[in-house]
Amino acid sequence: MFISNAYAQTAGGTQEQLFGFLPIILMFAVLYFLMIRPQMKRAKEQKSMIDALAKGDEVVSAGGIVGRITKVGESYITLEVSQGVEMQLQKSAIQTLLPKGTIKAL
């Protein structure tokens, strides 16, 4: 009287299951194109910029230090921040490559 009857499901549930997963699949596709793909593109551009660093380039470090590159090594660069003042930084610390002539007087 208080217990309801239990009925077996029909065999045609595979199409319903596919439509149940469709929103999840669409969310992953949107996530890929809006977040993951642009992040990978930005990382690729950053790596190519770091690989192309050369002596005389003017750069900004991740800490905001502006200077001109005087030496380029395997994983370190030497940055002249003022006349006679040089700092050694990791290449990965370089954030932005500035156009030539941006730094007026060092």
pLDDT in tens, 23-61: 999 999 999 999 999 999 999 999 999 999 999 999 999
Considering the chain, what percentage of its residues have pLDDT values greater than 90? Answer: 73
Nearest to 87 by CA among 60, 105, 51: 60
Nearest to 63 by CA among 101, 84, 103, 90: 90
Contact 61, 98 (CB under 8 A): no
Average pLDDT of every residue of the chain: 89
- pLDDT, residue 13, reads 61
- Kindly state the average pLDDT of the residues 73-102: 94
CATH number of 54-98: 2.30.30
